[in-house]
Amino acid sequence: MKRTHYCGAVNEDHVGKAVILQGWVNRRRDLGGLIFLDLRDREGLVQVVVDPESPAFATAERLRGEYVVEVEGDVRLRPAEQVNPELASGKIEVVARRIEVLNEALTPPFPVDASWRGEDDPAERVNEDLRLKYRYLDLRRQKMLARLKLRHQVEHLIWRFLSDEGFLQVETPFLTRSTPEGARDFLVPSRLEPGKFYALPQSPQLFKQMLMVAGVDRYFQIARCFRDEDLRADRQPDFTQLDMEMSFVSQEDVWEINERLVQYVFREALGVELALPFPRLPYQEALERYGSDKPDTRFGLEIRPAEDVFAGSDFRAFAGVVEDGGVVRGLVAPAELSRKQIAGLEEVAKRYGAKGLAWVKLTSDGASGGIAKFLEAERLRAWGLAPGQTALFVADDRQVALEALGQVRLALAELLGIERTGWNFLWVVDFPLLEWDSDLELWTYMHHPFTSPYEEDLPLLDRDPASVRAKAYDLVLNGTEVGGGSIRIHRMELQEKMFAVLGIPKQEAEEKFGFFLEALRYGAPPHGGIAWGLDRFLALMSGAESIREVIPFPKNQSGRDPLTGAPAPVAPEQLAELHLKIVE
RNA sequence: GGCCCCGUGGUGUAGUCGGUUAACACACCCGCCUGUCACGUGGGAGAUCGCGGGUUCGAGUCCCGUCGGGGCCGCCA
């Protein structure tokens, strides 16, 4: 190729050398008798200067933003007083001898040049749908290219680390069988077999387990997954997992290698040194202290039992709840909250199922406001409330009270502007194996039906299903679930027992997972693994508000791609081939 | 399915109590300008105020509906 250097790579080492650059006109400054160009490629900017005597001058006069040009010239130092410290190439400039227009360009619908000069980027504030429609322009921005690079780098590091640890990368099919897992499947109609469908995988779960049966021993894949559910800032219908599985391992083995992988990725990609091991927090403790199974531990404001504060009090609303087997939990807000602020927090509590949010302030004169008349200041002090602080209480079923306060805790941190910095990884472990589904009135799996319980909890399966712990774990970073996995059931007897507890008849299990259950009968080794939500991981690493920022071509909240117009109608002939009819 | 927020030149916004010519910045086009780097400077073009209906003498503004976008709940093992 003719190009000798990336624009962003030209520096004072090249002074006196002739270069040929190819790139985009980031900006043009026309002084009349002298023209400056900022030439841009993915590595950065370099200033090109065009003298009126140069044969390139006429061409430079007709250049506009985003034109694609080839520049041949000589690198020289800028006059000392004209060095631009904002630019990596700010000490030098390229004197153009020849400029060729490789392509003209329309004016972009939003600016893409500012970020490259280190200026405030107006494109950060344009309607996101417009950015998605012209994503190829949006991706020209420095910040977006940096995210693409980070994504590449992290995936590269994952490949390197896991390969060195003896993992094999194995690809699994996109066109597979619909199995009754958690989410709604994307279906692909079969042309060859009328009325039958493939499904796109929600995860490679069963395939990776069968790879363990095959003796692969250590598997990974950076796998695309598909779930047909409503979208969110952290949810796309197709998204990427780092999927891993290992044979003959304990939970601790899985945690340990993942911790080292995370540490390696953060060190190499961000220059951040993480301390190992990550804290391991049992699910019940996470719930009691933070009201969440994915606690943000970058700040305190922990939830506390508050029954003692209300013991013997005349506040009947709470006494009744406790008599009915509920609990009282509270939070201390280290400030005197206004009524408006409390109303906002109560709204949060109610959205998550609480009936209300009781509150009281402690002043130097004693308890005041809210439910103060029911409470003794002495007890509030004993509970930990100091003057100038506000106590917030919820009484309800344990789960509801804790989860509502967990959300209030997050809203409170936001409200008070509590600083949340750092990289707080932790493992939430010992999830319950089962969860009561009050709609269907039966026990259902919390993780998936192949998750292994703790052996010592097995006797409880019949007596007290809720207290059986699973060998299931989540990796949490700053209040976001970035990974989850488990040790799997590898023996048929236990698997059958699980189906029985879940109320799935043997015949139904065979129908739905028969191929997989059969695999377990052929000498399946003990195994377990994890899957990372790689998009979420990258969004957190790059400080993005939404995973759309780290996905090159994402869908909008309606599941549409404004760039391609997908989803779109198809020709009647295509439907006919697939034996499909649209029903209005 | 539900709750909340937002739709005004290419982009981002202003537009008061409903009042006649819809304002500002950036971008764009043309002229001038030899050391700029948010270049400067003079001029210019550019708006079905998302769409439909209603109230009114008069609607960007008020009301109803609808469409689009964003955040959240449900849903997402």
Does this complex have an ipTM over 0.90? Answer: yes
My answer on whether A151 and A264 are in the same domain is yes
From residues 9-38 of A, which are strand B contacts by CB within 7 A?
A: 27, 29-34, 36
Question: Does some domain include residue A2?
Answer: no
The one-letter amino acid at A30: D
My answer on whether A159 and A265 are in the same domain is yes
Q: Residue A340 has what pLDDT?
A: 86
| Residue A315 · residue A291 · CB < 8 Å | no
Please give the order of strands across the beta sheet that includes A472-477. A168-169, A218-226, A238-247, A527-533, A480-487, A472-477, A425-429, A280-282
Q: State the nucleotide closest to A109 in CA–C1' terms.
A: B10
My answer on whether A408 and A320 are in the same domain is yes
Of A82, A107, A132, the residue at which a domain comes to its end is: A107
The string of DSSP codes covering A554-571 is: ---TTS-BTTTTBS----
- Provide block-wise average pLDDT over 10 residues at a time, chain A (584 residues): 96 96 97 96 97 95 96 95 92 96 96 94 94 97 97 98 98 92 91 96 96 98 96 96 98 98 98 97 97 96 93 84 90 92 92 92 88 89 94 94 96 91 96 86 87 94 91 97 96 90 86 90 97 97 96 96 94 96 83
My answer on whether A154 and A248 are in the same domain is yes
Distance CA A511, CA A484 (A): 27
Residue nearest to nucleotide B3 (CA to C1'): A351
Structural domain boundaries enclosing A457: 425-523
Q: Measured from the CB, is A104 under 7 Å from any atom of strand B? A: no
Query: Per the annotation, where are the binding residues of A?
Result: 181, 227-229, 236, 447, 481, 488, 533-536
Q: State the nucleotide closest to A128 in CA–C1' terms.
A: B69
Quote the tokens at residue A85: 């410290």
Question: Does some domain include residue A132?
Answer: no
My answer on whether A153 and A262 are in the same domain is yes
Q: What are the angstrom distances between the C-alpha of A142 and each of A22, A124, A125, A492, A545?
A: 17, 11, 15, 54, 17
Question: Does some domain include residue A120?
Answer: no
Question: Does some domain include residue A195?
Answer: yes
My answer on whether A150 and A257 are in the same domain is yes
| CATH number where A467 lies | 3.30.930.10
Q: Please state the domain count of chain A.
A: 4
Q: Measured from the CB, is A351 under 7 Å from any atom of strand B? A: yes
Q: How far is the CA of A144 from the C1' of B61 (A)?
A: 39
My answer on whether A332 and A406 are in the same domain is yes
My answer on whether A441 and A537 are in the same domain is no
**Per-residue pLDDT tens over the stretch A350-405:** 999 999 999 999 988 888 888 998 988 889 999 999 999 999 999 999 999 999 99
Question: Does some domain include residue A401?
Answer: yes
From residues 441-470 of A, which are strand B contacts by CB within 7 A?
A: 444-449
Distance CA A349, CA A346 (A): 5
Instruction: Single out the residue of A177, A180, A169, A185 nearest to residue A242, CA to CA.
Output: A169
Question: Does some domain include residue A123?
Answer: no
My answer on whether A103 and A54 are in the same domain is yes
Query: From the CB of residue A581, how many other CB atoms can be counted at a distance below 10 Å?
Result: 8
My answer on whether A505 and A535 are in the same domain is no
| Residue A444 · residue A481 · CB < 8 Å | no
Distance CA A258, CA A483 (A): 10
| Residue at token pair 């259902």 | A444
My answer on whether A411 and A503 are in the same domain is no
Q: Measured from the CB, is A229 under 7 Å from any atom of strand B? A: yes
Covered bases, chain B (protein CB within 7 Å): 1, 10-13, 26-29, 32-40, 68-77
My answer on whether A92 and A190 are in the same domain is no
Question: Does some domain include residue A115?
Answer: no
Question: Does some domain include residue A431?
Answer: yes
Distance CA A490, CA A429 (A): 20
